[in-house]
Amino acid sequence: MKLNIVLVEPEIPQNTGNIARTCAATGAKLHLVYPLGFSVSEKEVKRAGLDYWDKLEIEEHTNFKKFLEKYTLEKNNMFFVTTKGKKVYSDVKYDELDEIFIIFGKETKGLPENILKKYLDKTIRIPMRKTLRSLNLSNAVAIVAYDVFRQCNFYNLEEISNYFDK
């Protein structure tokens, strides 16, 4: 199983750094879709990602249109995360898929409305109270990413259960 985390126009460097760290820890590939609200060389991004930047695979895309030309919904398993999602993220059977793309929008606006309408049956959401707007982007990525790995029996993630037996 190969997990791809796609950030469309992320705006907050610390979130992207935290997400990079999650991707490094899980082996997920990180896709950054421009324009970004910061430079990837900013110290906030580097600090949040700690020393993991060389331990993850990153692919950069000039814009969302180019990303969707390279990775099409017809050929790839894509899920668009939105508070307006049709399904709860945990209802998807990720363990039946070889490669998965989980797509997140920018912190202030989410994914473009036209994309959500076009791919409505591929939208997923994280349940939360109706009175709140959204979760932090890096938290949302971690929630969904770890559920994908949980469903896949934590595929390729090291078990450390013998740590306290030493």
- pTM score of the predicted model: 0.91
In this structure, of 8-12, 95-99, 158-162, the range with the lowest mean pLDDT score is 158-162
3-class DSSP assignment, residue 104: strand
Most confident of 33-42, 51-60, 124-133, 150-159: 124-133
3-class DSSP assignment, residue 58: strand
Q: What is the domain extent for residue 68?
A: 2-165
**pLDDT range class, residue 96, cuts 50, 70, 90:** very high
CA distance 79 to 124: 7
Long-range contacts of 159-165 (CB under 8 A, 24+ apart): none
pLDDT reported for residue 162: 54
In this structure, of 38-52, 103-117, 140-154, the range with the lowest mean pLDDT score is 38-52
pLDDT reported for residue 46: 65
**pLDDT(39) > 90:** no
CA distance 157 to 137: 23
**Span 29-46, mean pLDDT?**
83
CATH number, domain of 109, equals: 3.40.1280.10
**pLDDT(163) > 60:** no
Q: How many domains does the chain have?
A: 1
pLDDT reported for residue 158: 73
What value does the mean pLDDT of the chain take? Answer: 90
pLDDT reported for residue 55: 86
**Span 132-155, mean pLDDT?**
94
pLDDT reported for residue 47: 65
